[in-house]
Structure 1
Amino acid sequence: MANKILTTHVGSLPRTPELLEANTARANNAISEEKFNEIIAQSVDKVVKKQHDIGIDQVNDGEYGHITSGAIDYGAWWNYSFYRLGGLEMTDEDRWGRTEKVRSTPGNVKLTSFQDRRDREKFQAAYEDPDSGVLGRRNKVANPVFAGPVTYVGQDQVNRDVSLLTEAMKKYGVQQGFMAAISPGSAARLEDRHYHDDKALLDAVADALHEEYKAITDAGLIVQLDAPDLAEAWDQINPEPTVEDFQAWLQLRVDAANRALEGIDPSLVRLHICWGSWHGPHTTDIPFEHIVDQCLQIKAGSFSFEASSPRHAHEWKVWQNKDRLGAGRQIVPGLVSHSTNAVEHPELIADRIVRFAELVGPENVIASTDCGLGGRIHEQIAWAKLESLVEGAALASKRLFG
């Protein structure tokens, strides 16, 4: 679209009470599949209309079709994959409640438990204080393990999601849509009791998820690979590894993403990179400069990243390297944050957009959010941030295009 800065977001939008109740009921086998799908369909219609009414250009289904436990937590974004990958065996282990500590050694990078993250270790009192605001409300969520060959079993679910989104887009005259999907590296973070080999597991997960990505892009939608593992996994390695060791670990995830995207048009692929969604200090995050070039190896046409977080807003400087992005690709910087209740002023958003536009060209900038807004801030605040995003993009468009 000429002479306009387009707007979008990262994916997760506030769930309605009805949808949260339906997810909980489904987990307890207390709702029929027909009724559950009916509630999803009604909810998707409403959330697409709301995005359209606000003025979001690239809309999605709010990730409403991503089945969760019904929990309002920071982990629910990936739980949907438990229902779409075969070869998993459910355990009663809560990913937050596991306490074992895994130590990495030089040349042998391994992820430790979530509770053993270095940021949590450094700010232990704050993380353990329920009134500190560091973590939001959450329910315990049991995790599966890889117990057999990985397959894809989510065909019916992804086809439903694609159909509901495209139907709503047509109904409200929306031209561009996207759908989030977990990256191979993020999905492969579950415990492996079958392959016992990092690359073998990643390859198997990549082959399975290729089916989901293809179903989305075959419908003309953009598939967004949610790949927080590319950045925030650094904090889950204890003790801190060398940058070189982490980059070697990262390369396997980059290669797996490209394997999963084989044969898919890069213009229909958006990569989302972030340092995790929790409301924490984030003082142990890896600098963007150390990973950006590896992330850019992934065959995606656009790259979404945090750009308004207090820990990462300064990293717009990585794009001062004029050759870094490459031709025919776009950046999708986060211009409003999911980690603060303050609603960013449209003028601030416009300033941020113009700065990026001056570096990579206005035609290569799409205004977005740092991460998903659902479950992280209050519904009213989430929608207010998106309204401000649209207003800021309009101001920037006037400055850039006249």
Structure 2
Amino acid sequence: MRTLAYGFPKLGDRREFKSLLENFWKGKITEEDLTEGMNRLRDWMVDNYRQYVDLFPSNELSYYDFVLDTAVMVGAIPSRFGKYQGLSTYFEMARGKRALEMTKYFNTNYHYLVPELETPNFHLLKNFPLEDYNYFSQKGIDTLPRLLAPYTFLVLSKAPKRTDSSPFAVLQLAPIDSVDVLQQYASALIPLYREVLKSLASAGAKVVLMEDPALTKEMTDEEWRLVTEIYHQLAGILDIYVLTYYDSVSNYERFVQLPVKGLGLDLVSNVENLENIKKLGFPQDKVLIAGILNGRQVWRANIEQKARLVEDLSKECRELVISNSCPLFHLPISVEPEDQLPEGLKERLAFAREKLQELKLIKGLIEGDRQALEEASRISKILATDIGRRDHVRERVRSLKEEDFRRSVPYRERIKLQQDILNLPLLPTTTIGSFPQTEEVRKMRTAYRNGRITQEEYKAFIKKQIEHVIKVQEEIGLDVLVHGEFERTDMVEFFAEKLEGIATTKHGWVLSYGSRVYRPPIIYGDVERTHPMTLEEISYAQSLTSKPVKGMLTGPVTILNWSYYREDVPKHEIAYQIALALLDEVRDLEKAGIKVIQIDEPAFREGAPIKRRDWEKYFDWAIKAFRLCSNAQPQTQIHTHMCYSEFNEVIEYIYQMDFDVISIEASRSKGEIIAAFENFKGWDRQIGIGVYDIHSPAIPEKEEIKRILERAMKVIPVELLWVNPDCGLKTRNWEEVIPSLRNMVDAARELRTEKNPATT
């Protein structure tokens, strides 16, 4: 038995990856400096693997996103970027003015850049797998080159599709939903992949890891025939290990018949894979790569139980490799530096490095190592205890009734009451919530946390920031204001720090996209709110202006999905506990006179299971959780925000959330998201159109914004439209934000006048 790990986080112990990228973008270091720094991180990643596991990959350190790397490898450079000019083009595709669309990688919080396949004319532009394999080979280190499989690459991509039924009647990019089109693009990709595999074989590689998580989606027989043909074409050059993760493979019998040497199955996220192995057996001529350690959760494994599982699996196959269930980049690097966690929690945790140690420990236990035996026994005793239990919280959830999930007045009546109070113009303008978190803001927050300034000094500083942002918004002419969120590090972490039963970390950083990092909280006990969380700052902001200021909350589904959550109670119960805590906050905000409350749910779609057959159960409790926390007075206008989701797939579920206004992303997707509302009959909710991309430093032109809004008006009545950026502004600087918002407000005012000449 051997051990394999993959997907180790590239961030570095001190977030070196983030520093390298951002210093390069700011012009503080050269491309040569960037390359040298990235090579040090490459060595660091492999050194982590080499300490603990037998097999590990190369080609894992992307400069931005591994899906983008694959697009560059196959020459899928959209024509608007011109001839590929190395890193300048690469980063222009990632974060430039006309950057590729960004969306979630399957049902995770990792964002990937969506390849645009204008034609099926691929060519080998950059052989990243060979370059990285040679880098380590020259050091005498044997690695398994890692590639994104052709099928998954195509499933994640978009290709031209004529949408004659739409009012736009243009050739748009859309997900490839035709097997014939998939076949066309796959036929063009296969020779290129063969070329890459041959180059690796010539360089001495014996095995390649082919990640194919799209095989866990619901697939037709035609799609399986295509996948089988792809691997038939790739077979025979070197051994291929196919890795699947995040769910069970859609057809186990077809999967195990693929003409490859090794098959990787996620045995954590589902029970179906293991049941199929036991029921249908496993081919004796293939390697079983058993994903037995959870790559998405931070909980320490019960080593004794995992060892018993491995022993059972070894009876089903001739050659067994044990591994993580999915890439480890969903985890922080190590729990070791965490010294301020609640009592009894740290010893229950295993981050990425500890997962590697667990693989080694399981192997040692099976091989009879005495130290491994003692350590496994010690861990079992720790995990047998309970922490964070609050019986009164559980009783409150058990006592919920149907009316708790339903607002007392229907939307059509609520909206009239709200407009009488708010008196908003046509095309009202607002922002999503946050404003620039400048270096000064970050320094003051750090000084407060480290005890270098008092709480009074910190609060006075935050008040000055709020005063400034209210003044800026009024000068720009926004209609509904926000308090800027200067006191918040992160939209989930902020609330986690104020709720009982949730822990936060000091160094538990995880990459979300590019250089953007966040620290997922850890839900370890029953969740409870013991005091107001946002009331002070939002009330102060409202006292400074006669315009409405939004109360800003993060929704229960997002707090749950963007945290590491406990596994000893059902997810829906955790969601309801969080929702009840937020409901208490909503009621306090209402008592303080706040008329508009935004409850952000960007992870609502992300949390849905990969297979649609499992959607009803998930969306049932996700919708209820939102409705529970938003069960406000009818006069209170409830907003929500979502970004970078496939709205077309879930719009019916979104409508059932019963909000008053939703803000959505519509910039990188070039407004195509608006088409989701074409086929939805009876849509009557207000929609805030995200008219410019906050992930790019480019300042949007007024005419660009007007084009997006005019396109929206072809589908959505102007009376329902709001105007806003597509996400929060915390990562931008004031020099970008102010002119961008001015252009946005000017565009809205001009269209407002055109649609209603009486508007002043």
| TM-score, normalised relative to structure 1 | 0.76
Superposition pairs of residues 38-77 of structure 1, within 5 angstroms: 38-66=460-488, 68=489, 76-77=490-491
- 2:679 paired with 1:265: no
Match of 1:84 among 495, 498, 505: 498
Give the equivalent residue in structure 2 for 1:136: 515
Partners of 1:147 and 1:2 lie apart in 2 by 43
Read off the aligned partner of 1:227 and give its amino acid letter. E
Give the alignment partner of residue 316 of structure 1, picking from 674, 677, 685. Answer: 674
Q: 1:180 aligns with which of 552, 557, 560?
A: 552
- Shift of residue 159, structure 1, vs aligned partner: 2.2
Gaps of 5+ in 1: 69-75, 98-113, 115-133, 276-285
Q: Does 1:198 align with 2:571?
A: yes
The CA RMSD over aligned residues, in Å, is: 2.4
Residue 393, structure 1, aligned to residue 734, structure 2: no
Q: Which residue of 1 aligns with 2:688?
A: 332
Match of 2:585 among 209, 212, 220: 212
Cα shift readout 1:263-316 (whole Å, capped 9, x = no counterpart): 4437510011112xxxxxxxxxx5211112211111211111111123x62121
Distance 2:476 2:632 in 1: 35
The aligned runs of 1:357-376 (5 Å cut-off) are 357-375=713-731
- Residue 452 of structure 2 aligns with which residue? 30
Aligned to 1:252: 621
Pick closer, same or farther for the CA change 1:357–1:214 going to 2, 3 Å: farther
Instruction: Report the Cα offset of residue 94 of structure 1.
Output: 1.3
CA contact (8 A) 1:322 1:359 kept: no
* Closer, same or farther: CA 349–261 of 1 in aligned 2, 3 Å: same
CA distance, structure 2, for counterparts of residue 6 and residue 151 of structure 1: 35
Match of 2:643 among 253, 274, 279: 274
Question: How many residues are paired up?
Answer: 333
Larger Rg, first or second structure (1 or 2):
2
Residues of 2 paired with 1:266 and 1:253: CA distance? 24
Residue identity matched to 1:364: L
Q: Deviations over 1:342-375 (max 9, x none)?
A: 2222122223223323433222111111111111
Aligned to 2:527: 150
Say which SS state the counterpart of residue 332 (structure 1) adopts.
strand
Shift of 1:3: 5.8
Which deviates further from its counterpart, 313-322 or 201-210? 313-322
Q: In structure 1, give the amino acid aligned to 2:539.
A: S
Question: Which amino acid in the other structure matches residue 86 of structure 1?
Answer: E
Answer yes or no: is 1:378 the counterpart of 2:699: no
Secondary structure of 1:224's counterpart equals strand
Pair 1:168 & 2:544 matched: yes
Aligned match of 1:128 = none
Q: Distance in 1 between matches of 2:544 and 2:755?
A: 32
Alpha-carbon distance change, 186 to 399 in structure 1, aligned in 2, over 3 angstroms = same
C-alpha separation between the residues in 1 aligned to 2:427 and 2:535? 31
Deviation at 1:222, TM superposition (A): 1.2
Residue 694 of structure 2 corresponds to residue 341 of structure 1? no
Q: Distance in 1 between matches of 2:536 and 2:424?
A: 33
Q: 2:504 & 2:687 partners in 1: Cα distance?
A: 38
Residues 95 and 244 (structure 1 numbering): CA distance in 2 closer, same or farther, change over 3 Å? farther
| 1:73-120 CA-partner distances (Å, limit 9, x unpaired) | xxx2322112221122345661517xxxxxxxxxxxxxxxx6xxxxxx
Q: What is the percent sequence identity of the aligned residues? A: 20
CA contact (8 A) 1:11 1:179 kept: no
| 1:102 corresponding residue in structure 2 | none
Question: Is the 8 Å Cα contact of residues 333 and 366 (structure 1) preserved in structure 2?
Answer: yes
Match of 1:289 in 2: 648
8 Å Cα contact 2:675-2:715 kept in structure 1: no
Moved more, 15-24 or 287-296: 15-24
SS at match of 1:360: coil
Change (3 A) 1:185 1:226: same
For 2:531 and 2:739, locate their aligned partners in 1 and report how far apart those are by CA, in whole Å: 34
| Aligned-partner Cα distance in 2 for 1:265–1:65 | 29
Contact 1:351 1:396 in 2 (8 A): no
For 1:71, the equivalent position in structure 2 comes to none
Distance (whole Å) between structure 1 residues aligned to residue 424 and residue 456 of structure 2: 43
Q: Is the 8 A contact 1:357 1:364 kept in 2?
A: no
Q: 1:192 to 1:54 in 2, by over 3 A?
A: same
1:44-88 alpha-carbon deviations (Å, 9 max, x no partner): 01001001101111110111233x2xxxxxxx2322112221122
Q: 1:194 deviation in Å?
A: 7.3
Counterpart for residue 280 of structure 1: none
List aligned pairs for 1:8-19, cutoff 5 A: 8-19=430-441
Q: Is the 8 A contact 1:209 1:260 kept in 2?
A: yes
Contact 2:496 2:503 in 1 (8 A): no
Amino acid aligned to 2:514: L
For the 8 Å contact 1:346–1:392, the answer to whether it is kept is: yes
Q: Relative to 1, partners in 2 of residues 1:349 and 1:243: Cα closer, same or farther, differing over 3 Å?
A: same
Distance in structure 2 (CA, Å) of the matches to 1:137 and 1:95: 10
Matched residues in 2 for 1:208 and 1:35: separation? Answer: 29
Which of 578, 595, 602 aligns to 1:228? It is 602
In 1, Cα distance between equivalents of 2:635 and 2:600: 15
Instruction: Provide the residue aligned with 1:21 in structure 2.
Output: 443
The alpha-carbon deviation at position 197 of structure 1 amounts to: 1.4
Distance 1:264 1:222 in 2: 11
Distance apart, 1:339 and its partner CA: 2.2
**Deviations 1:238-263 (Å, cap 9, x if unpaired)?**
xxx22342454233221101111224
Residue 641 of structure 2: SS of its match in structure 1?
strand
Residue ranges of structure 2 left out of the alignment (5+ in a row): 1-422
